[in-house]
Chains A and B, each alone.
Chain A
């Protein structure tokens, strides 16, 4: 009875609220009074803990009820850097806490405006965007008896999520982790303690002294490699090494990978522009606007002033980099964080894709 009454109230109230707040939505006002209302894709930063000199673990409390995630999955986190909303994906480094708190661990990289902002400036109490979870860098159910994880740098984070959640179900784990130095190993105390207690075998590779991990190294370090389904996460070089090795062994089907940095498109003058998911691919030089390049090959693009003042020509840039023809400013997108750009005053700066 009670739920039905509630439903009835809702079917009357919701349209009424919408009619009363048009052209905005009731949520727009709710956001004002309670930015962390249950329907908001947001979270509050409830803790920032330093892991290494360049990495922090951020504890997030989601606004609504957390739907749950599988170990190894990532979330999209939206932070504001100098007024610009930027979204990045970060692996969850553990199960949700009792109060629904999630943790991510972020390493500041030199050219990463967003990661550096998080490491250097993010404060407890900040409200950030939160979407997800996503990803299939997860263990199957039931988990295999023997597992190998190969990671480097912050590629350790999804694996840490898996270990903290599922280590007790995993009888035989080998983790080969590369970091520049011993000081830079993330979660070092926890991992070394597990190793000491015989719960996993940890192989640390300090690349500053021993060089990058090669296929031969891996074969030597893990003699029963062939028996171990493998999960690898790290820079592209590492993943390629592991993939080539398993390919030679005819075991590519036993490799699961996650690249923690997307393959970055090169920045140049001009480049291949792809319009839409399946639209034409156009070779455009550095002086031709995306608008002209598209129109020349018959793409229907909206435009207005064609001189950068009216914003009628704005479309999402989903891949690559473009250069503003007026001042040379570059706009790059990271995977999953499209940026709306004006096609009339931007030219390709390397291969790129716009949604037309």
Chain B
């Protein structure tokens, strides 16, 4: 099942197909239990988060009107950065997943929501909800694996372009919201001529421009101008807040699937994959971040990446609650629950990106592999109890 043929044992070799189906049933039951309990408490939670975020944003913007005074600048910039992170992570990402659709509130609904990000919600829902969450960690299908510009798995073919990937990753981190927009457009595939349906690209690019223009106008022109004598400091505050949000979201997202211990899969995995096998792939393909309650909220509960990937449309405040039980399932079924504190996971992901910028021949402990050892042929038969 996994593409890591250089690994000596498959992490699921001990599971029979019946075991896996049973695991699927247990996860379904867990999901139903939460659905049955979902109610006012959850609705109150998301309303409160939205209220806090908007209040913080209004307050910070107000303080920035006086940002010519350094303390005001500092306070306003900090507040604006936090508010933007909350808006993207705990609110935007999760609302767009449809986690709050059940409330039937048109103001908090995946079909009407637009977020503070240059990529339009529609484009994001396609590339993220649909592609990434369905094809999680399948090499060649899930573009989140290195965002098509990096090599994050031994089984992705090495080309000299990847030598620069620590640098690409650093730049991408700083301008992450534009990186996401390019990624949603699948820009890389057009550049390398893998995709030629340029009409789609044009339409998509137009939509991004329409959205980005408004975002730029708001942050870099309207608010600075309204600040009068504080125009320049306000401009700077907006730049810093956007970059801070970019760095934070980039780091958190890197921790979701890149750290050590996370598995990748071959395309064959998808053939006839059952719901239970899909669950299993999510379990093996995601990594959590451990930390304080505040950290979890600031990551949009993506720190519960495993729980989020198992149940992408359950309200985010519930991930923390199901985590211990999900972890028990991991133990009972002899699987590894990958988790670690933020600095460790970020370092682990960065190390992978640096390490894999070099071909496999230079990897310590990795069996020599021909550069043409592409993933399609990567899953040897007999080691593959899942995707039969």
Q: Using a CB–CB distance below 8 Å, which chain A residues touch chain B?
A: 16, 19-24, 28-29, 31-32, 80, 82-86, 304-305, 307-312, 314, 326-327, 329, 339-340, 342
Contacts A83-B38, A86-B104, A340-B111 given; does A327 touch B28 at CB 8 Å: yes
Contacts A16-B222, A80-B43 given; does A339 touch B104 at CB 8 Å: yes
Please determine whether B130 and A83 come into contact, CB atoms closer than 8 angstroms.
no
Contacts A309-B313, A340-B111 given; does A304 touch B129 at CB 8 Å: yes
Q: How far is the CA of A310 from the CA of B99 in the complex (A)?
A: 10
Partner of A29, one of B35, B58, B125: B58
Residues of chain B lying within 8 A (CB to CB) of residue A86: 104
Please determine whether A314 and B107 come into contact, CB atoms closer than 8 angstroms.
no
Q: How far is the CA of A340 from the CA of B55 in the complex (A)?
A: 29
Contact with A along B261-293 (1 / 0, CB 8 A): 000000000000001001000000000000000
Please determine whether B130 and A310 come into contact, CB atoms closer than 8 angstroms.
yes
Please determine whether B115 and A340 come into contact, CB atoms closer than 8 angstroms.
no
Nearest A-chain residue to B130, judged by Cβ:
A304
**Is B223 among interface residues, defined by CB-CB distance under 8 A?**
yes
Query: In the complex, how many residues of chain B place their beta carbon closer than 8 angstroms to a beta carbon of chain A?
Result: 47
Nearest B-chain residue to A324, judged by Cβ:
B35
Please determine whether A314 and B115 come into contact, CB atoms closer than 8 angstroms.
no
Q: How far is the CA of A339 from the CA of B109 in the complex (A)?
A: 11
Q: For chain B, residues 10 to 65, give those with C-beta under 8 angstroms from any C-beta of chain A.
A: 28, 31-32, 35, 38-44, 51, 54-55, 58
Residues of chain B lying within 8 A (CB to CB) of residue A21: 218
Q: How far is the CA of A17 from the CA of B115 in the complex (A)?
A: 17
Contact with A along B145-189 (1 / 0, CB 8 A): 000000000000000000000000000000000000000000000
Q: How far is the CA of A307 from the CA of B316 in the complex (A)?
A: 20
Please determine whether A29 and B54 come into contact, CB atoms closer than 8 angstroms.
yes
Residues of chain B lying within 8 A (CB to CB) of residue A327: 28, 31-32, 35
**Is B133 among interface residues, defined by CB-CB distance under 8 A?**
yes
Nearest B-chain residue to A306, judged by Cβ:
B134
CB distance from B216 to the nearest CB of A (A): 10
Please determine whether B125 and A19 come into contact, CB atoms closer than 8 angstroms.
no
Residues of chain A lying within 8 A (CB to CB) of residue B111: 311, 314, 340
Residues of chain B lying within 8 A (CB to CB) of residue A304: 125-126, 129-130, 134
Please determine whether B129 and A19 come into contact, CB atoms closer than 8 angstroms.
no
Contacts A310-B130, A340-B101 given; does A83 touch B32 at CB 8 Å: no
Beyond A83-B38, A309-B312, 11 extra complex contacts between A and B, CB < 8 Å: A22-B218, A23-B215, A24-B54, A24-B114, A32-B51, A80-B43, A304-B126, A311-B313, A312-B130, A327-B28, A327-B31
CB distance from B269 to the nearest CB of A (A): 15
Q: How far is the CA of A259 from the CA of B387 in the complex (A)?
A: 56
**Is B97 among interface residues, defined by CB-CB distance under 8 A?**
yes
Please determine whether B226 and A20 come into contact, CB atoms closer than 8 angstroms.
yes
